[in-house]
Amino acid sequence: MTNKQTILIIEDEKHIGNYMETIVIANQYKALRAMNGLQGLSLCTSHYPDLILSDGAAALELEGQYILFLAEDTVEYEGIYKKKNQVSEDTLEWLNFYYSLTAQERLALSMIPSEFVTEARTAAIASAVETSSSSETISYREALTEEELAQTEALAMHYFTEEVPSFEGVDQIYPADSEESLYHNPGLEGEYMPGNIIIYRVLTVKDRRDGNPFRYISIARSNKSGAWKVINSGY
């Protein structure tokens, strides 16, 4: 596979996680590891895995949204998973009622089953901390693997060498800082999240000879499984 699909493994038992990771890699997929749901959430927002595997649950990325699958003996409340034998019959009935409501109706509920209270509070605190930290602190470069950086850099080199040969090739190239304002360009770069876009600063052979400054090239993909393409270029 040239673009390996990514599988996120959420497992707190190290030996089980190692076993799962070995199987994933042996089948030519890229593996990410998380010890708990909070770590998994962080990796989801930075790496956008194609598939998430957890104890009793799996989630498949499809057109930018995750579709959740639960094992028959597993229940879920807002990203918190429990075996059915860990919760009461009343809680099981409440969960059926909860998921019969619309998203707006759920927000009006103040009651949380006791089995989920501790994890829900922890998640709420983590969410508040994450919200208070600007998403701009996520490095666009660090959101990509070394393989993905190599792929996008090669595409940029190809653009200035083969697609537009008048540039006569590339003299220097490096990823732009995350503070680069182009990442927030409405309608173009601003439509892509970290992990699906990278902007390079490029000095072409012709620009160096003519005394011109570095130009930029923006390379993005629609989702983690999509193909990289040039979406913008200029000064």
What is the per-residue DSSP string for 184-229?
A: G-TTTGGG--TTSEEEEEEEEHHHHHHT---EEEEEE-SSTTSPPE
**Structural domain ending residue among the three candidates 106, 137, 168:** 137
Q: How many CA atoms lie less than 13 Å away from 163 in the CB half-sphere? A: 11
Which whole-number Å values give the CA distances from 170 to 161, 196, 219, in the listed order?
7, 23, 16
Residue 74 lies in a domain: yes
> What domain range includes position 131?
6-137
Q: Report if residue 100 sits inside a domain.
A: yes
Question: Which pTM does this prediction carry?
Answer: 0.45
Whether 98 and 199 map to the same domain: the answer is: no
- Number of domains present in the structure of the chain: 2
Q: What is the pLDDT of residues 125-166, one digit of tens each?
A: 555 555 445 444 568 888 899 999 999 999 999 999 999 999
Same domain, 182 and 229: yes
Q: Are residues 133 and 169 both part of a single domain?
A: no
Rounded CA separation 43/174 (Å): 25
Average pLDDT over residues 92-118: 82
Considering the domain boundaries, does residue 1 fall inside one? no
Bridge partners of 218? Answer: 199, 232
Instruction: Choose from 7-21, 105-119, 124-138 the range with maximum mean pLDDT.
Output: 7-21
